[in-house]
Structure 1
Amino acid sequence: MARATNRRALGDLGNLIGGLSDRSSMPQNSKQFNPQNQAKSFIPLDRPITRQYGAILAKNQSITQASRNCGKENVGNVECRSKQRRTLSPIKKKGQNQETQGQVDVTMEEMDCELSPTPSSMSEVRDNEPCEIEMEEAESPIASIDKDDVKNPLAVVDYIEDIYNHYRRTEIMSCVPEDYMSKQTDINHRMRAILVDWLIEVHHKFDLMHETLFLAINLIDRYLSIQNVVRKSLQLVGITGMLLACKYEEVYVPALEDFVIISDRAYTREDVLKMEKSMLNTLQFNVSNPTPFVFMRRFLKAAGCDKKLEMVAFYLVELCLVDYRMLKFPPSLLAAAAIYAGRRLLKLSPQWNKIVNLHSTYSEEQLQECAELMGEIHQNAGVGKLTSVYRKYSISKYDCVAKLMNPLLQ
């Protein structure tokens, strides 16, 4: 008990900056407890590093001239600044002697050396401008586009980035060779365009969801890129692909007889079921691939779009479904280019910003080729026989966006 009573308090071990021992645990005699001694044992916190000062540290890999005079790079720097501040404190006291005044002057010169960069260091700061820019960008991070959906369980905010990273990795599986029609012996790309244009009209009359149309065209293209099809069976492939997409996406699936009737009874129920089995076996039952619609929703959210921009973007990307040349672009690029071209069509500024660039991973330069082709298709949409998309988006339900005939490219 006696040893516990006489036990002395632990002092500063040197690893606690600014830490002081508890005054109540220290002896109260005048020799061991002195407010001035306690003030001297206090080590103040390090001063904040500005952008200019941080650029010098990053470039030279050494702290300052004052820290080099004090000794080691890191520990000496802290001790040196602590010494400077402790030396400056007597300025406020009256009756200071000349020796202390001289010490203060020397310390002030050291601080001027530390805080004011030398001419060589000033040139190094100019050469290190990217470092300053990076620090400024870090101070203003890009706002999250999912902050308003945090409490929405259907938005799955905690997993949304992982989901779209998975889509970007697997979208290559939904792509087909851009020249796969060269392997077909009895059909060509013009017949495919007629089929897709007809399916868009069927999709509109059945009032199906957007994702159903994109998935149906994807299933048809993937099947035709693997399996040779004769001309008389091409429409059968089309209605079967639409039936499979409806079973995957829709809540209320149209009856199989409806597809038989819509094809003017050119095929029987057994023909459709046989083709359905053939398509599923050929595609190895893989019907869950990302389409342009999947990326369109995410990129439109990043663009902060209104209803009109959404309609224009979907109009442009549906026009691309009919054109065989657009198969060379991956789904994510088609979606991003449709939004970019739509913003140019509506004369919105800026046409492409950092937020959309971040979430789409495409820069404005990477979208130019695809946007130019979309502009060409858009200008010729109402001409010729394949006008299902133009007529669909010319009604008030879609804000008549097809009638915006302004050129996309200046």
Structure 2
Amino acid sequence: MASRVVDQQQARGMAVAGVGVKPQKKNAVADGRNRKPLGEIGNQQLVRGIEIKPNRPITSDCRNFRAQLLANAQAAAANENNKKQVCVNVNELVAVKRDEAPKPVQKKVVNIKLKPKEIIEISPDTEEGLIEKVHEKKKEGASKKKAAPTLTSVLTARSKAACGLTNKPKEVIVDIDAKDAGNDLAAVEYVEDMYKFYKLVENENRPHDYLDSQAEINENMRAILMDWLVVVHSKFELSPETFYLTTNIIDRFLSVKTVPRRELQLVGISAMLIASKYEEIWPPQVDDFVSLSDNAYSNVQILVMEKMILGKLEWTLTVPTLYVFLVRFIKAAISDEQMENLVYFLAELGMMHYGMLMYCPSMVAASAVYAAKCTLNKSPAWCDTLKLHTGFSESQLIDCSKVLVSLHAKAAKNKLQGVFKKYLSSERGAVALLSPAKVLLPPAKASGGSS
């Protein structure tokens, strides 16, 4: 029994404890020197899921190979972890950059010089635009060709030249206020608006024809009063504004109040007293006017008449007189001293004449300028600058200018010599001695007048 058991165990290759028989292996080396230590039997490693069983003795090369495999496996695992980390970081960076505002990209400006090309504009309606362009080009081509003069065109041109209708070069309007740009008293910024206002209101306080309502006063009496006031004005050496305002006050008062003959001079004295108080810095005293009237009126009478005049005129003294327009129109005429004195001479002759009340002050002033230019043979007698500032054309001034020139022609022989002697002095250029404008006189009187 014992021997059978042993045989069976030997047949299976099993070793029995305490028995000296050794089993034989098919591929094993019988040499006991190559047997693996007990501690390494069953030592197995997994590399990438493959079970590796050492079937040969572990040497230094084997250890190196094993270490290399481990290093490769660790390196592969590290690469996978790095890839995951990179993906996470990239996602975070994208999220951060989305929140940040995009920075503007600076572009380099490149200057490119293009050759000029002809640009043809076409209207919204393409066909119509092209047709218009074609017609324009045809017209340009036709205009370049010299048009042969026809008989009709020649006759038309000659008829226009004979009638004085040829095209004249447009006149340049002179800026008469350019020299006074730095003068605050000239009020350059407002002067045009001021004179537009004067033109609007000049007829509001304009005296109308009143001699028909005056029972004891006639045209000759008024002229005598005005001539005397010229002398009084010169003695007191008053400003021109005072004389023109005095005349305005007298005519306006006589238009609304019937005055007896004996009080006509009193009206003149009181009117000049009011005008002096309005215009002068040191106006004459009431006693001065009493002495000038040769005590014909007392102080009380003058003051009472002054009060009556102001009441009838409703204290309206700020009015555009003839002098206001004369100053502006003389400036627009760009006149010299001689012409300026002649304009004032003609205007004051007109103030002496009652018939001049039918003309507004601005027209009388413009007519005085026109008559003075004709008297001095100034060319042109009327220009666009004067037309702009006066508001009158040459044809509108002919009638009024003829009246002024006729008064000039009669001044030397007139009994009332106040204005004539005033402008006979050398201080005013002796313009009263100038011959009147013949072009504005009737043919019968053209040869008359003083020289």
Normalised to the residue count of structure 1, the TM-score between the two structures is 0.71
Matched, 1:258 2:288: yes
How far has the Cα of 1:406 moved from its partner?
A: 3.6
Q: Report what 1:233 is aligned to.
A: 263
3-state SS of 1:181 partner: coil
Letter in 2 for 1:382: A
Matched, 1:313 2:343: yes
Please give the residue correspondences for 1:1-400 in structure 2 after superposition, counting only pairs within 5 Å: 4-5=102-103, 24=108, 39=114, 70=126, 112-113=137-138, 115-116=140-141, 142-177=173-208, 179-400=209-430
Aligned Cα root-mean-square deviation (Å): 3.3
Structure-2 change in CA distance of 1:363 and 1:111 (3 Å): closer
Post-superposition Cα deviations, 1:202-238, rounded to whole Å, max 9, x if no partner, equal: 1111111111111000000000000000111000000
- Mapped to 1, the partners of 2:431 and 2:109 lie a distance apart of 80
Give yes or no for contact 1:174–1:291 (8 Å, CA) kept in 2.
no
How far has the Cα of 1:68 moved from its partner?
A: 8.4
- Mapped to 2, the partners of 1:158 and 1:314 lie a distance apart of 27
Structure with more of its chain in helix, by fraction: 1
How far has the Cα of 1:113 moved from its partner?
A: 3.9
Which stretches in structure 1 are left out of the alignment for 5+ residues? 10-22, 27-32, 47-62, 82-108, 127-132
- Mapped to 1, the partners of 2:139 and 2:126 lie a distance apart of 12
- Mapped to 1, the partners of 2:364 and 2:141 lie a distance apart of 53
How far has the Cα of 1:70 moved from its partner?
A: 4.1
Give yes or no for contact 2:371–2:437 (8 Å, CA) kept in 1.
no
Q: Report what 1:129 is aligned to.
A: none
Which stretches in structure 2 are left out of the alignment for 5+ residues? 1-96, 148-152, 154-165, 441-451
- Mapped to 2, the partners of 1:229 and 1:401 lie a distance apart of 36
3-state SS of 1:380 partner: helix
Q: Report what 1:30 is aligned to.
A: none
- Mapped to 2, the partners of 1:143 and 1:71 lie a distance apart of 49
Structure-2 change in CA distance of 1:350 and 1:24 (3 Å): same
How far has the Cα of 1:112 moved from its partner?
A: 3.5
Give yes or no for contact 2:405–2:436 (8 Å, CA) kept in 1.
no
Q: Which entry has the higher C-alpha Rg, 1 or 2?
A: 2
- Mapped to 2, the partners of 1:44 and 1:24 lie a distance apart of 29
Structure-2 change in CA distance of 1:212 and 1:113 (3 Å): same
Give yes or no for contact 2:371–2:401 (8 Å, CA) kept in 1.
yes
Letter in 2 for 1:142: I
How far has the Cα of 1:409 moved from its partner?
A: 2.5
Q: Count matched residues.
A: 322
- Mapped to 2, the partners of 1:203 and 1:309 lie a distance apart of 22
Letter in 2 for 1:367: L
Structure-2 change in CA distance of 1:371 and 1:408 (3 Å): farther
